[in-house]
Amino acid sequence: MKILIINASVRNERSYSRKLTRLFAENWKTKFPHDTFTYRETGTDTIPNIDESWIAGAFKKPEDRTEENQKPLQLSNELVQELKEHDVYVIGTPMYNWSVPAGLKAYIDQVMRINETWKFRSGVPDGDYVGLLENKKVFILSTRGDTGYGENEKNGHINFQTTYLKHIFGIMGVNDITIHSLDNEEFGGEVFENSKNKIFKAIESIP
């Protein structure tokens, strides 16, 4: 299998989401030594925001695109192809202001491509989205400063991080999604140590 790890934190060694993706990779390689890994950086590398020229190219039929239309889509084409070629996606992301980092949002905008990763069922805007990424699995490894962001928990209504990612990948056709979240980073001390021990054990038990 081919594993794609997507890191989103703007921090390096101080990033706990990166620690989680490293732990995931180490654990997976031990169990499946013949699988291969690709790393995509959205936190410390710049993923450009889409712009008007990108939209003009993306929403044209491929056969109608000019050279001018193609140029803004070069990175997007690479990222979309990367998703198609891999079997498992591992997303390591902190929560920034109750959502995902800007770099990860820019990445999502680049890969949410009509007729590439999703389409309208009827071929015209009908509100019925069909995902085009088949037989894929996503692991979302998230970190958060506070706690209570799970479903039906006190802060669940302002969790625009994991709920957003689950929705986005679901539209692209990926419904096999596992979420592991490390909470309480801002608290530190024993409460954070307990959170780390819990998620470390969960990751080590994958798959």
What Cα–Cα distance (Å) separates residue 29 from each residue in 20, 83, 95, 125?
14, 20, 27, 43
* Residue 173: alpha-carbon gap to chain centroid: 13
List binding-site positions: 9, 15-17
For residue 184, the tally of other CB atoms under 10 A from its CB is 20
Name every residue whose Cβ is closer than 8 Å to that of residue 146 and which is 6 or more positions away in sequence: 155, 183, 184, 186
List binding-site positions for FMN: 9, 15-17
39: tokens are 């790393």
107: tokens are 């990445």
Q: Residue 198 and residue 78: Cα distance in Å, rounded?
A: 36
